[in-house]
């Protein structure tokens, strides 16, 4: 796991940044659609200066926050969120950002590529989202390849099994055989994993199942299904 963590650190970090950009683009798209009929010059907002900045916030539906007196706000309700387009001094916008974060909201900074009209911006957002989605897919594929290379799924399974044994190991001392509370480890061979799992789940037993590869040099038992008249001779096979 340490080797995988070292190898995957760069693509995982890149994926997190990519997903953050996708979330901001989704928020910007929702705001642009809701404000498409307004007379707002989005390019001017993106390049706000002279001591003011513009930010976009999203609050859970029905949640209110205190807006500083020197901040101008335009709101729009979408799905389960309320969007706030805020313009004001940087320190006041930051105070609003803290209030939004405390209310389990989120923030998206205005990109500097915004055009004056919402229609032009929506087309640009769609293009950027497609690019970011492609990048995210490539990063996930890279992480999946590293996970397969370092057998992460198998390692996590071993950890889960060990954790289960530690959590339930007390059954060895606390079990009551008369009530069927017995801690046991059962091993064997099977060619039908699904049937074994179904039988365990139907039994109601608290159990963890593992299907490891056969030990080196071990051979699975031979199951014979000969007719009755041939069975006495199976001992010679």
Report pLDDT for 85.
Answer: 87
Res. 5 pLDDT band, cuts 50 70 90: very high
Nearest to 206 by CA among 182, 187, 177: 182
Report pLDDT for 207.
Answer: 81
Instruction: Indicate yes or no: pTM above 0.75.
Output: no
Over the stretch 49-65, which tens digit does the pLDDT of each residue have? Answer: 678 888 889 899 889 99
Kindly state the helix (H) or strand (E) to which residue 145 belongs, with its residue range.
helix 118-149
Over the stretch 102-134, which tens digit does the pLDDT of each residue have? Answer: 999 988 776 777 787 888 888 999 999 999 999
Distance between CA atoms of 129 and 118, rounded to whole angstroms? 16
Cα 214 to Cα 188, 189, 217, 218, distances in angstroms: 10, 9, 8, 6
Over the stretch 157-184, which tens digit does the pLDDT of each residue have? Answer: 888 878 877 776 665 555 555 666 667 7
Q: Are 234 and 226 in contact (CB under 8 A)?
A: yes
Q: What is the mean pLDDT of residues 181-189?
A: 78
Distance between CA atoms of 72 and 52, rounded to whole angstroms? 11
Report pLDDT for 173.
Answer: 53
User: To the nearest whole number, what is the mean pLDDT of the chain?
Assistant: 84
CA atoms within 13 A on the CB side of 158: 7
Report pLDDT for 115.
Answer: 80
């Amino acid at each position: 796991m340490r080797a995988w963590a070292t190898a995957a650190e760069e693509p995982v970090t890149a994926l997190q940044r990519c997903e953050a950009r996708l979330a901001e683009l989704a928020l910007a798209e929702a705001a642009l659609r809701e404000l498409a009929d307004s007379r707002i010059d989005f390019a001017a907002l993106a390049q706000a200066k002279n001591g003011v900045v513009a930010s976009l916030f999203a609050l859970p539906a029905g949640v209110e926050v205190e807006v500083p007196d020197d901040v101008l706000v335009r709101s729009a309700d979408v799905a389960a969120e309320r969007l706030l387009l805020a313009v004001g001094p940087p320190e006041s916008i930051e105070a609003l950002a803290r209030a939004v974060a405390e209310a389990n909201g989120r923030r998206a900074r205005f990109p500097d590529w915004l055009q004056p009209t919402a229609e032009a911006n929506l087309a640009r957002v769609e293009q950027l989202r497609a690019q970011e989605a492609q990048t995210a897919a490539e990063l996930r594929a890279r992480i999946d390849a590293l996970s397969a290379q370092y057998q992460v799924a198998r390692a996590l399974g071993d950890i889960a099994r060990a954790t289960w044994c530690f959590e339930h190991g007390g059954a060895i001392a606390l079990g009551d055989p008369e009530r069927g509370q017995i801690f046991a480890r059962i091993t064997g061979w099977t060619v039908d994993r699904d049937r074994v799992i179904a039988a365990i789940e139907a039994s109601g037993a608290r159990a963890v199942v593992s299907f490891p590869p056969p030990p080196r040099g071990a051979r699975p038992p031979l199951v014979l299904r000969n007719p009755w008249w041939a069975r006495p001779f199976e001992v010679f096979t």
